Amino acid sequence: MLAMRPVDRALDAGDCRARLEWASECCARADLQLTAARRAVLEFLCARTTPVVVETMVSALAASSCGHFVSFYRAVQRFEAAGLVRRVSGAGQRAVRLACAAADSLVCRQCGRAVAIADLSALHELERRVAARTGYRIQYHLLEFDGICHRCQRVNTVLPS
């Protein structure tokens, strides 16, 4: 069984740094220069364990710093095109996540709430076995669960359909 933890799990600095390194390598491979706006978007995403609603992120970044809304939206588009960032299907396509293994999460199909998957040891074991069987050096995987969260399950049973 995979253990779940609530949304606001603090991400430790090491995890965050590892993601930033991964993202920087992806940018270098894709020939994407790290402009101030792109860096701000990456840092925002790397510091979070769950998918992020694009509008929320862009508003926060535009309010706090160094760039215009348009630059942040463009940065997200470029990252999507380069495969660093992908849309999360369970959240009405409004949320994005890093396309790296460390960002695996579980998303509610109905309200878009997401929880980080805290214990991925079973998955790491699977990755190890797949690598051993195929001889591939696995660099990352994408894993997306979606379902209905506790709150939405309660609302569904209370409301007449």
Q: Which is nearer to Zn ion, 32 or 91 (CB)?
A: 91
Question: Per rule CB under 5 A, is residue 149 in the interface with Zn ion?
Answer: yes
Integer Cα distance of 122 and 128 in angstroms: 10
Question: Per rule CB under 5 A, is residue 152 in the interface with Zn ion?
Answer: yes
Phi, psi of 63 (to 5 degrees): -75, -35
Q: Is 139 exposed, middle or buried (0-12, 13-18, 19+ CB in 10 A)?
A: exposed
Query: Closest separation between CB of residue 92 and Zn ion, Å?
Result: 12
Q: Of 108, 115, 116, 117, which lies in the binding site for Zn ion, with binding defined by CB under 5 A? A: 108
Binders of Zn ion among residues 109 to 128 (CB under 5 A) are 110-111, 113
DSSP count for the chain of H helices, then E strands: 6, 6
Q: Which is nearer to Zn ion, 19 or 113 (CB)?
A: 113
Please, which residues bridge with residue 97 across strands?
A: 86
Question: Per rule CB under 5 A, is residue 100 in the interface with Zn ion?
Answer: no
Q: Which is nearer to Zn ion, 43 or 92 (CB)?
A: 92
Q: Which is nearer to Zn ion, 121 or 157 (CB)?
A: 157
The answer to whether 51 and 97 are in contact (CB under 8 A) is yes
Kindly list the residues in this chain that would bind Zn ion in the complex (CB under 5 A): 108, 110-111, 113, 149, 152
